[in-house]
Amino acid sequence: MTNKDTFYKQIFKLVLPIVIQNLLSAAVSSADVVMLNYVGQSSISAVSLASQYANILFMVFYGLGTGATMLSAQYFGKGDMKAIQVIEGIALRFSLLIALLFACLALLVPEPMMQIFTNDRELITIGASYLRFMSVSYLCWGITEVYLAILRSIGRVVISTAMNVLAFSLNIFLNAVFIFGLLGAPKLGAMGVALATSISRLIELFACFVVSFLSKDIKLDFRYMFVKNKALFSDFVRLSLPALGNDIAWSVAFSMYSVIMGHMGTDAVAANSFVTVVRNFGTILCFGTASAGGILLGNIIGMNKLEEAKDGARKVMKLTVATGIIGGLIVLGAMPIVLRYATLTEQAMHYLKYMMLINTYYVLGAAVNTTLIAGVFRAGGDSRFGFICDTITMWCYAVPLGFFAAFILKLPVLWVYFLLCTDEFAKWPWVLKHYRSMKWLNNITRDGLFEEG
């Protein structure tokens, strides 16, 4: 078997579980929208807006998990398991602190949190109840996301996926139970979505402790939160903070898109809710390729096989373009189904049709940037470029353009949405130039981390 065959075989072994995991994640989001579709448009809109905080929190945990993965993948290639365990402890320090902050805000001041996104009283009331119920899930999430990221970084993607399959499947089942009041449960509507999420996250956390107890190498051990290693802590901060800043800058900016749409009427919000679900399905394969490629490249770089890593990066890029095109076709193929079964107002349906058409090509732009910034570059220890690139593109271009188009020029909803969806393509010149420079390719592991003195 050639090196080319070996690389593709290894990446597909990683891609399949990650795709299943992402597919189930998207299925939960779509189940929320489909079920709430029978409750009412206000519930869909309120949950869509309130979920922006979960999206931001996800990007925070993803950023911390990525920082941990960047180091852990290379140390796994190097064969240093103790370093990986210490890295997990460092990541948990940060994630638990941030999760506690979000949980307290959601429990104590949910109304002001909703007022950021909308001035509609009904949406604020529904969304505030949703956020209170979600507060418990934030704490569980802060632990499980870091542990599962560590497992993925050392190639334990099947275990990681199994945990997510458990949580997501349970979430969909409990959604139906609490939204519609099945099996003698109270009929909670939008609040049922949050309650279902919190219960499934609690059970996922318990399952992680079971896996940790049975594991022979990487444990979910909170004692490592208190292990001090200046070199690893310094590396984690140096690599994770830009990754975290990158993901927060991107996710908060993307939430600003919802702020803009939220102030353009409930029809725009409801249409955007459906589009987000369909786009999530369209990006599953390409984002799975990005994650798998980043893990595999990190392992190769940790072995100090830099030429092999360069060749691997080229293969990942080819796969990304192919999966991005497939993603666009998935969005296009979903259009007639969504337009037939969505029960929105006539105006919202009009928005929905053209928003989906825009996303048929938007998926490719997102696929290339995500693969390079969050996959390839980070595998080589370069998180700084993505932070600078996304911050400038989103906050100096896309967000100001959206506000200007919506509130100064007062353009129609679809024109505003089209302009917001130019953000990924505005990044391409920078991103592709940095990829070709190979400045991102670095072995970031250290020797003698635990030597006395």
pLDDT in tens, 144-181: 888 988 988 888 888 888 887 888 888 888 888 888 88
Contact between 148 and 160 under an 8 Å Cβ cutoff? The reply is yes
For residue 100, the 8-state DSSP code is: H
| Residue 444, domain member (yes or no) | no
Average predicted confidence (pLDDT) for the chain = 86
- The C-alpha atoms of residue 398 and residue 423 are separated, in whole angstroms, by 6
The 10s digit of each residue's pLDDT in 109-146 is 888 888 887 788 888 888 888 888 888 888 888 898 88
The 10s digit of each residue's pLDDT in 318-336 is 888 999 999 999 999 999 9
| Residue 453, domain member (yes or no) | no
| Residue 395, domain member (yes or no) | yes
- The C-alpha atoms of residue 265 and residue 267 are separated, in whole angstroms, by 5
pTM (2 decimals)?
0.76
- Per-residue pLDDT, averaged over 7-27, amounts to 79
Range of the domain at 173: 3-437
- The C-alpha atoms of residue 248 and residue 242 are separated, in whole angstroms, by 10
The 10s digit of each residue's pLDDT in 78-99 is 888 889 999 999 999 999 999 9
Of 108 and 45, more confident: 108
- pLDDT at residue 197, as a whole number: 84
- pLDDT at residue 1, as a whole number: 42
| Residue 159, domain member (yes or no) | yes
Number of domains in the chain: 1
Cα–Cα separations (whole angstroms), residue 209 to 205, 307, 318 = 7, 39, 38
| Residue 447, domain member (yes or no) | no
Phi-psi region of 145 (alpha: psi -120 to 50; beta: other; left: phi over 0): alpha
Q: 109 in helix, strand or coil?
A: coil
| Residue 260, domain member (yes or no) | yes
Return the exposure string of 87-125: e unless at least 16 CB atoms fall within 10 Å of the residue's CB, then b: bbbbbbbbbbebbeebbebbeeebeebbbebbebeebbb
The answer to whether the Cα torsion of 83, 167, 44, 424 is positive or negative is positive
